[in-house]
Amino acid sequence: LSTRLKQRHLPGAASPSSGFDRLEDSSRPHVDPSQLDKETVFEWFGLHLNPARRIEFMCGLLHMCQPLELRFLGSYLEDLARKDYHVLRDFEFRANSPSDLGVLTDVVDPVVRSKLLVCLSLLGSDSRECAGILFRILSHVDPQLALLFTMASLHPALHFHQREVVRGQLDKIELSIEEERRQSQRRINAQVKSHIPQWSS
């Protein structure tokens, strides 16, 4: 498994192991991957991962697939996506229109941020010009919007160096959040310890 992962891993793509590493972040007890069944994995994926982690994990799994598996999955995904084609057609046109993307500059506005998520979801893999516009917009967005930055760091329409820049920003934020979590846990432990009665010998 590790050999195949190294062979299939592409720069800027998330390793699927990162998703399993985050099993410990859920409220469920640690489970040995060898003991996981499909229902357990489905439940973990559907109930315990946020949208950014879901996308990251799925992209990592796809990079582990063999060429014929990818072609089959491509056909399967195409059929699933066809069901929403008419609903999303106008949005997809706007997502791949430089003039429409150019007006999404007020990144403080939650509506604009929502539109950016839609645009990244519907951006074509060969829409380089639009990808460049989105990349410039992201330079003014708070990196703590994990889903937006995760999608951008994995999107094939962005150039390699653009994905690397976005991934670097995301990694820094994740490290700071993790450090903040550790400090918070240390403070909680210290408070608990201070309330434990000290018995004299």
- Please check whether residue 32 is in contact with residue 70, taking contact to mean a CB–CB distance below 8 angstroms: no
pLDDT at 71 (0 to 100): 96
Whether pLDDT at 120 is above 80: yes
pLDDT value of position 7:
43
Q: Which of 8, 159, 188, 1 is nearest to 20 (CA)?
A: 1
What are 6-49's pLDDT values in tens digits?
Answer: 444 444 444 444 444 444 444 445 556 666 788 988 999 999 99
